[in-house]
Structure 1
Amino acid sequence: MVLVMLEKYNKYWVDVNGLMGVATILDPRFKMKLIRFYFAKIYDELTVQTEIDRIQDLLRELVDEYGHKNSKSKAKPVSFFSTKGKWIMLDEFAEFVEQDNGATPEKSDLDKYLEASNIPLVDDFDILNWWKTNGNSYPTLEQVARDILSISVSTVPSESAFSAGGRVIGPYRIPLCSDMIEALMCAQNWLWADIKGCGDFKMEYSQFEDMEDDCYTEIVNV
């Protein structure tokens, strides 16, 4: 049993998920410091920097992608009103301004965010409220944080979640409607929770399923 658990653990947790690393960096209490701290404990010296760069590059790609989308929606170049009452676009001046700004590139939201000091560690920290309050300082990075931090995290293996139907819809239940199947699944979870809560009564999950199938078979035969 231990080997099976170890195999499942290695399958899902040995390689640090990229988005989970990004979400850690987006926590102003941790940023890159927590990544460096734990990666030094997880990986050998030759792998630490490679994994750190992988997570940081993923975040930079996200910031660049969101920034590219924002640049498409920016306002058009400024126009000037002439004495003849017509709008004249100073294209050459606009190009000059753009080239002049490109000579001294402005720091990205990510660079400014990482250079700022980490906020103190607190237990009841509300990260979403922090980004809501401080997002104006990092508008592009705020959009990334809004989308990444809203992803629900689940430790339920995907194959277990998708195989639940096979444990509920047996050969006798195929004709049942969806509402009845949903009711059976809820009832099964409630009954199983009650059985697990009994200290003196121990039953394996497979035994519970066999008992449930036997009861259903008797009902159908009646």
Structure 2
Amino acid sequence: MARRMKDKYDKYWGDIEKMNKLIYIAVVLDPRHKMEFVKFALISMYGEGKGNELGEKVFHARVELFNEWNNTNTVNTSRDNQVNLGQSTSRELSQEPREHVRKMIKEKFKKHKIEAGGGDNKSELERYLSEDIEEGPDEFDILGWWKVNSCRFPILSEMAQNVLAVPISTIASESTFSTGGVYLMHLGVL
């Protein structure tokens, strides 16, 4: 059983080239850790050389994933905004008080500016990573944090919801570490 456990460990964690970087991206999306913690942990686990190499791969995977998400989200949002602005603005102007309409237009502009990367030239990802790490208890609600901060990081919050929903374990690894079947075979049940 120890050999099977070691083989499973090596399959998923032993070779840096074969490792799924998504688990590290999930840690980056935890506002209590971000990339600094991932780099520190990788160097602690794999040493300076391998740790830095894997850190670079995580960095590039994170940027590629964000850019892909951003491109997909921007295309869909732009299409939705064109439809929404064309359909609702004239109706809202005639039915709503002017102050409410001004607020609505400002919010839409702010959202447009964020999606277009306006304001400063930092991407949403760069802004998120440049902020201080959150202090939080062990029971910290990561998805709750992303929900609260979805206005500031609309693309990242959607990405976080999907990345953090990925199950970490699989039935294959569970069966590798299980001894229940062996015990039942000795009792003559199986």
CA separation in 1, counterparts of 2:173 and 2:4?
Answer: 16
Give the corresponding residue for 1:3: 3
Mapping for residues 183-202 of structure 1, pairs under 5 Å: none
TM-score normalised by structure 2 residue count = 0.67
Match of 2:59 in 1: 56
Name stretches of at least 5 consecutive residues in structure 1 with no aligned partner.
80-100, 162-191, 197-202, 213-222
SS across alignment from 1:154: coil
Deviation at 1:158, TM superposition (A): 6.0
SS at match of 2:189: helix
Alignment correspondent of 1:141: 156
> Which residue in 1 is equivalent to 2:100?
none
- State the Cα distance separating 1:121 from its structure 2 match: 3.7
Q: Is the 8 A contact 2:25 2:58 kept in 1?
A: yes
Aligned-partner SS, 1:42: helix
What's 2:108 paired with?
none
- Cα displacement string for residues 25-70 of structure 1 (whole angstroms, at most 9, x for unaligned residues): 0000000122111111122322222211111211111111111112
Structure 1 match to 2:23: 20
More helix by share: 2
Distance 1:40 1:158, change over 3 A: closer
**Partner secondary structure for residue 151 of structure 2:** helix
What is the aligned length?
150
Q: Secondary structure at the match of 2:149?
A: helix
Matches of 1:134 and 1:105, distance apart in 2:
19
| Within-5 A mapping of 1:62-101 | 62-73=65-76, 74=78, 75=81
Give the partner amino acid of 1:35.
V
Give yes or no for the alignment of 1:106 onto 2:121. yes
Q: 2-side partners of 1:48 and 1:154: how far apart?
A: 23
For the pair shown, the structure with the greater C-alpha radius of gyration is 1
Deviation at 1:141, TM superposition (A): 0.9
Unmatched 5+ stretches in structure 2: 87-115
RMSD: 3.1
TM-superposed deviation, 1:4: 3.3
**Structure 2: distance between partners of 1:131 and 1:64:** 18
Letter in 1 for 2:12: Y
Name the SS of the counterpart of 2:159 in structure 1. Answer: helix
8 Å CA contact 2:8, 2:173 repeated in 1: no
CA distance in 1, matches of 2:48, 2:160: 30
Letter in 2 for 1:211: V
Paired residue for 2:183?
204
Q: Residues 105, 124 of structure 1: CA spacing in aligned structure 2 closer, same or farther, 3 A cutoff? A: closer
Structure with bigger RCO (C-alpha 8 Å, 6+ apart):
2
Q: Which amino acid aligns with 1:148?
A: V
Q: Give aligned-pair identity as a percent.
A: 32
- Which deviates further from its counterpart, 11-20 or 53-62? 11-20
Distance 1:129-1:19 versus aligned 2 partners, 3 A rule: same
Q: What TM-score comes out, normalization by structure 1 length?
A: 0.58
Q: How far apart are the structure 1 equivalents of 2:164 and 2:53?
A: 24
